[in-house]
């Protein structure tokens, strides 16, 4: 994929984040939303909007500066950075699964079965997603 196209797709993701954030913020103040945790929803919406705007500004700045675009392109295609990114993702996955397993056990000890089940289902869904991606990528490469 051309690197400029990748930057443009990142701008689109920023717009999606911003629109999602605005929608969440607005939904927190719709009449009849009293039963919802409006403070949490509006904060989440503000965070998504901020992230989206930061993405948009960052990638537009990169697209307008050819030297900066080249610098980011070289960094993105550097084999060491790709390897580090892959290892960091794998480590983050492993740490999450272990922490989720510990949290599930702790919840079970304190008779929080519902929370333990939610954590367990979340962990199983993540492991299933990993397995599915592994199968798809092994056929592709």
Please indicate, yes or no, whether residues 33 and 49 belong to a single structural domain of this protein: yes
Residues 141 and 91 occupy one common structural domain: yes
Does 61 lie in the same domain as 102?
no
Residues 71, 92, single domain; the answer is no
Q: Domain check: are 112 and 64 in the same one?
A: no
- What are 38's two structure tokens? 């409006």
What is the rounded CA–CA span in Å between residue 30 and residue 33?
6
Sign of CA dihedral 106, 43, 13, 62: negative
Name the nearest CA neighbour of 103 among 119, 121, 82. Answer: 119
pLDDT for res 1: 57
- Segments forming the whole domain that contains residue 117: 79-141
Q: Which of 77, 105, 124 is the last residue of a domain?
A: 77
Together in a domain, 12 and 43: yes
Profile the chain (141 residues) by mean pLDDT over runs of 10 residues. Answer: 87 96 88 71 92 96 93 89 90 93 93 92 92 89 82
Question: Helix axis angle, 3-27 relative to 66-77, nearest 10°?
Answer: 90
Cα 9 from Cα 7, distance rounded (Å): 5
Question: Residue 128, class by beta-carbon neighbours within 10 Å (0-12 exposed, 13-18 middle, 19+ buried)?
Answer: exposed
Number of separate domains in the chain = 2
Q: Are residues 72 and 86 in the same domain?
A: no
Query: Are residues 115 and 141 located together in one domain of the fold?
Result: yes
Based on the fold, state whether residues 126 and 106 are members of the same structural domain: yes
Shared domain for 73 and 87, answered yes or no, is no
- Count CB neighbours of 38 within 10 A: 15
Tell me: do 11 and 70 sit in the same domain.
yes
- Alpha-carbon distance 84 to 139, whole Å? 23
């Amino acid at each position: 994929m051309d690197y400029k196209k990748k930057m443009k797709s990142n701008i689109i993701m920023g717009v999606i984040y911003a629109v999602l954030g605005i929608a969440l913020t607005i939904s927190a103040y719709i009449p009849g939303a009293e039963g919802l945790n409006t403070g949490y929803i509006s904060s989440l919406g503000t965070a998504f909007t901020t992230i989206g705007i930061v993405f948009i500004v960052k990638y537009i700045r990169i697209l307008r500066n050819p030297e900066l675009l080249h610098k980011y392109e070289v960094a993105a295609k550097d084999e060491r950075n790709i390897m580090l990114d892959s290892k960091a993702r794998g480590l983050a996955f492993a740490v999450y699964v272990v922490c989720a397993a510990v949290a599930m056990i702790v919840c079970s000890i304190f008779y929080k079965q519902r929370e333990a089940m939610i954590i367990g289902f979340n962990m199983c869904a993540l492991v299933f997603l990993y397995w599915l991606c592994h199968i798809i990528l092994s056929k592709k490469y």
